[in-house]
Amino acid sequence: MRALNLAENVKGSASRMVMALSVTVFCGVLAAQTAGKKTTPPPPKSPSAIQDKASVAPDAQHSGIKTEQFQILPFPAPVFKTAPPEKKKFAVQFVTNYTRLAFTPEVKMQPVPKSADTYKTPEELFVTQFSAMMSGDYDRWIAGWTDDSKKVMAERDEQMKRTSADWVARWKLALTNRQVVLLERLESGPYVLLVYSLRDTPKPGETQGKEIIRTLFPTKKVGEKWMQTQELSDDEMFKRYIEEPEGYTQVLR
């Protein structure tokens, strides 16, 4: 019996809700093609929150795209006779379907020894990975990633001149005197994303500590194992779900 009774949390106490995250782009132009235009930057985050998120979720990046403003040009009148003008919209919609299961009650993660590591389910992978981070065991942690993800992270670490010791130091800073709490499970295509909260340990008299970050833990089944993956690093749902769980609309012009 695992310390968290994960199977019971998933099968017995999670409430199901099928939802869809949609990305709507007007005028048939992809958001990526507007990278050179002026946008409104997202509000700055505190250095500590950014550092905590990079430490425990290295594949999570928030793009913070906002509605863009464009100057209305003074078009000349048509040379030839026209019918009355019509205001129209041309929309291209990208939809990510997923099923949401909320853990009830939410699950406070308890670390396990290396001998108890398992990759049978997304939740057990989650426990294995955070147990590795909490114990400062880099080799144990990197073993939980897909092979392609390991290559991506190795290249990134080489570019940033980041070592395994740097990772361990960041985990210690981010996780000491903190609680890791599972909140939701999102099933989408071949992926299962776990929503979790990193919180301060409650002070005497408090029922819940201050939330430091809330983010996603992406997993994918490889063979008979569930593994952590970098495949969703640029995925719109992965980047935006926490701030905009119902999706977003971007008006291009």
How many other CB atoms are there within 10 angstroms of residue 206's CB atom?
10
State the pLDDT at residue 92.
83
pTM: 0.71
What digits encode the pLDDT tens for the residues 130-185?
Answer: 999 999 999 999 999 999 999 999 999 999 999 999 999 999 999 999 999 999 99
* Higher pLDDT among residues 134 and 22, named by residue: 134
Q: How far apart (Å, rounded) are the C-alpha atoms in residues 149 and 226? A: 13
What digits encode the pLDDT tens for the residues 98-107?
Answer: 999 999 999 9
Q: How far apart (Å, rounded) are the C-alpha atoms in residues 132 and 143? A: 10
What domains are defined for the chain? 6-19+47-58+98-244 (3.10.450.50)
